Structure 1
Amino acid sequence: MTKKTKKGLSYRDAGVDIGTKGQFTTDIYSKMQTTFSQRVIENPDGFGGLFALNSRLKKYRQPVLVSSTDGVGTKLKIAFMMNKHNTIGIDLVAMCVNDIVVLGAEPLFFLDYLASSKIVPTVLHEVLDGIVEGCRQAGCALIGGETPEMPGFYQKGEYDIAGFVIGVVEKENVITGKTIRPGDRVIGLRSSGIHSNGFSLVRKVFFDKAKMKTNQRLTKYGLNTTLGEELIRPTNIYVKTILKTLNKHKPKNVIKGIAHITGGGLRDNIPRILPEGCSVTLERKEWDVPKIFKIIQDVGEITDQEMFHVFNMGIGMVLIVPESEVKKVLNTLKYAKEPGIVIGEVTRGDNRIVRIV
């Protein structure tokens, strides 16, 4: 009598399907190719992405590589609730590339990390579509990434994403804010909404306190959208606008400092570029705060101070320029289809603080 062989466990039994992951990786390569330029050396089955520096950096005398990594925080929860995943990748790219362009850097290439309990190709393809679109908007190539399947680590139907970008800037053109002086003006670029910060408070306000649903229309608050549509609105990518403006006004004494307004809002992010002896006074009447922030504040009964400390409040990027150059810079921004607003000025002060009056 032949003894039966006991079947051993497989990776599939543990919840990981190597075949599905392999097919997904193969399928997304064609999407990645849509972001490629001649600088990318194709290596579809390789262990790393290849990017040719010489063909791109020959215009630089002293090229400095600039890097950043970021995620989108709990805004992912909104995507899960709505089962809408094609914009969250734009947020991911935006959070990374907006951080390096403030130093004057041109984004070169992007990598992503997309982890889930189980690879669901339809969902992850939507996420990748957003990342590809974000890279197109930023003018950088998506040359690689990692898509681990981690059963038991993430809740069913959920995933996490992180992004990594590399850019380049001429050493003498790195924007640090060191030349900012009292009397300079603060120009704000409008945000597209909440962007990707403050969503733990957003969810607390709308879903825990007010018991609202993502499909609830906001008509009574003056918005012709649903709550979910307003919350999932992708982060604005400012790269092309900023680079056009920098190229138009190359001398360092024109664009003295740039700040990406993310977590911490205007109060925490502008001081990061201020030198000693400088503070900033912002006049809130100079720009219209988007209605979504007023809704959050009213429903959550949140103070002005807390709102300005958590959210961008309608300003996604700040440029600091000499008073004499304001009109020229505003004209350039208007031509780049990203109109700017003078929202304040640099004042004398030792504490590097932002006053909002």
Structure 2
Amino acid sequence: MADKYAEAGVDTAAGDLAVELMKSAVSATHGPRVVGGVGGFAGLFDVSFLTSFQRPLLATSTDGVGTKVAIAQAIDKHDTIGIDLVGMVVDDIVVVGATPLFMTDYIACGKVVPSRIADIVAGIALGCSETGTALVGGETAEHPGLLAPDDYDVAGAATGAVEADAQLGAHLVTDGDVVIALESSGLHSNGYSLVRSIIRQKDISFLDRSDELGGLVGEVLLEPTRLYTSPLLSLLADAPGAVHALSHVTGGGIAANLARVLPVGSWVELERSSWSPAPVFRVLAEWGSMNLEEAEGTWNLGIGMIAVVEASLVDAVIAHLAADGIPAWTLGAVSTVPRDITGFDQGAKGVDGGAVRLVGRYRD
């Protein structure tokens, strides 16, 4: 029967080898709360520590990396895409003030190439280690006939916990709170369908070298997503009450994602002049015959996370983030004074939140 399965295109032996190659990287993310090892039907995590919480809330998030994987496949570089996955999943959990506990991954591919799968998982494990998240399980599925041999997609899910009265969000945001930008490392993992369309229209190969981008096109575009979880958890622990809300700038861009974590009736204008988008955004916009403003709903333009902070603690928050290697700056201030909000983004992803718009011109 196994031979017939192999004839159908599924190589279970290759799958077993992939597990062996990734086992040490996965095990390195395990602390004393992980029960059992790698390869079980389900991952087990000891949450008895939650009995010390007054009202523990579990936070969960799931996501993928999107079409960024197509660039990894095009240049045969697979060791960073897993970091992107952790960023997309785990950094959503810290937004509510939760500490990530564990994560699982799912890789669907046309053909299991053990070394490639191991590279992907090694990146996931590295991201998990950097965010204090245990990688407790996963699945690699071979889909011959549905996906081409070199095609794959990755997704993951994570769970975290937060004390109910420590939850961040719109309910804490007040008039006069200051909005702070946390610098991104590049495109992160959103807007790659537009990126790929631009590259295709320019008839550029991901293997080409670009003086404008400062390196191999594919490698520049694969710059891993910056991970904010550990610096933010440190900030929340060291400066309790300083941060009222966080927004992870992913699909939808800066304004729409911030609007999701502001209370209804509030508004903020974000000053474009407070930062200069990195060359990767400027070059891609030029290649796509766009101005940067036209890309604001697609790319993060240099802001990967946003914090809404108590006004009196802004300098302390920025200094704390800088000490953890995260450049940050002020973007604007929240107001609840009634005004005409025509032209503002008002909530997103089904959330009826505050109103946000960007104003001014980007700094050169």
Q: TM-score, normalised by structure 1?
A: 0.93
SS of alignment partner, residue 142 of structure 2 = coil
Letter of the 1:232 partner, please give it: L
1:232 aligns with 222
In structure 2, the residue matched to 1:10 is 4
Letter in 2 for 1:353: A
Pairing 1:317–2:310 present = no
1:84 aligns to 2:77 (yes or no): yes
SS of 1:192's equivalent? coil
Given residue 274 of structure 2, which amino acid in structure 1 is its aligned partner? E
Match of 1:174 in 2: 167
**Deviation at residue 155 of structure 1 after TM alignment:** 1.4
Gaps of 5+ in 1: 1-6
Contact 1:185 1:344 in 2 (8 A): yes
C-alpha separation between the residues in 1 aligned to 2:224 and 2:306? Answer: 19
Deviation at 1:13, TM superposition (A): 1.1
Paired AA for residue 264 in structure 1: G
What's the offset of the Cα at 1:19? 2.0
Aligned to 1:216: 208
Aligned-partner Cα distance in 2 for 1:346–1:225: 40
SS at match of 2:332: strand
Please tell me whether residue 95 in structure 1 is matched to residue 97 in structure 2: no
Structure 1, residues 146-187: CA drift from partner, whole Å, max 9, x if none? 111111111120111101101111111111122212321111
More strand by share: 2
Partner of 1:269, secondary structure, is: helix
CA contact (8 A) 2:21 2:115 kept: no
TM superposition shift of 1:9 = 7.3
Check the 8 A contact 1:177/1:258 in 2, yes or no. Answer: no
Q: Deviations over 1:318-356 (max 9, x none)?
A: 000122111121222122222311112213356532221
Partner of 1:4: none
Q: Which amino acid aligns with 2:229?
A: V
1:268 aligns with 2:270: no
Q: Provide the C-alpha distance between the structure 1 equivalents of 2:198 and 2:140, rounded to a whole number of angstroms.
A: 33
The letter for the 2-side match of 1:263 is: G
- Separation of aligned partners in 1, 2:2 and 2:42: 33
1-side partners of 2:310 and 2:21: how far apart?
50
**Matching residue's letter, 1:218:** S
Q: What SS does structure 2 have at the residue aligned with 1:267? A: helix
C-alpha distance in structure 1 between counterparts of 2:169 and 2:178, whole Å: 16
Aligned to 2:115: 122
Alpha-carbon distance in structure 2 between the residues aligned to 1:306 and 1:353: 19
SS of 1:310's partner is coil
Runs (4+) of structure 1 moved beyond 6 Å?
Answer: none
Shift of 1:301: 1.1
Letter in 1 for 2:98: A
- Maintained 8 Å contact 1:281/1:347: no
More moved, 36-45 vs 306-315: 36-45
The question of whether the paired residues in 1 share the 8 Å contact of 2:95 and 2:245 is answered with yes
Q: Structure 1's 151 and 8: CA in aligned 2 closer, same or farther, altered over 3 A?
A: closer
SS in 1 for 2:143: coil
Q: How many Å separate the matches in 1 of 2:19 and 2:323?
A: 40
Residue 108 and residue 284 in structure 1: after superposition, are their counterparts in 2 closer, same or farther (change >3 A)? same
State the distance in 2 between where 1:45 and 1:73 align: 27
Per the alignment, do residues 275 and 17 of structure 1 end up closer, same or farther by CA in structure 2, a change over 3 Å counting? same
How far off is 1:43 after superposition?
3.7
Tell me, in whole angstroms, the C-alpha distance in 2 between the residues paired with 1:334 and 1:317: 14
Equivalent in the alignment of 2:362: none
- Partners of 2:38 and 2:181 in 1: how far apart? 41
For 2:13 and 2:207, how far apart are their aligned partners in 1? 36
What is the aligned partner in structure 1 of residue 103 from structure 2?
A: 110
Q: Is the 8 A contact 1:106 1:168 kept in 2?
A: yes
Q: Which residue of 2 aligns with 1:42?
A: 36
Q: Which runs of 5+ in 2 are unaligned?
A: 347-353, 360-364
Q: Distance in 2 between matches of 1:154 and 1:78?
A: 16
Change (3 A) 1:217 1:19: closer
Give the drift of 1:49.
0.5
The alignment status of 1:292 with 2:284, answered yes or no, reads: no
Alignment length, in residue pairs?
Answer: 345
Between the aligned residues of both structures, percent identity stands at: 39
Question: Contact between 2:186 and 2:302, CA under 8 Å: does it hold in 1?
Answer: yes
SS of 1:213 mapped into structure 2:
coil
- The alpha carbon displacement at 1:280 in A equals 1.4
Q: Is the 8 A contact 2:26 2:122 kept in 1?
A: no
CA distance in 2, matches of 1:314, 1:305: 13
Aligned position for 2:181: 188
Could you tell me which residue of structure 2 aligns to residue 157 of structure 1? 150
Root-mean-square deviation (CA), in Å?
1.7
Q: Match of 1:241, as an amino acid?
A: P
In the other structure, the counterpart of 2:357 is 355
1:57 to partner: Cα distance: 2.7
Larger radius of gyration: 1
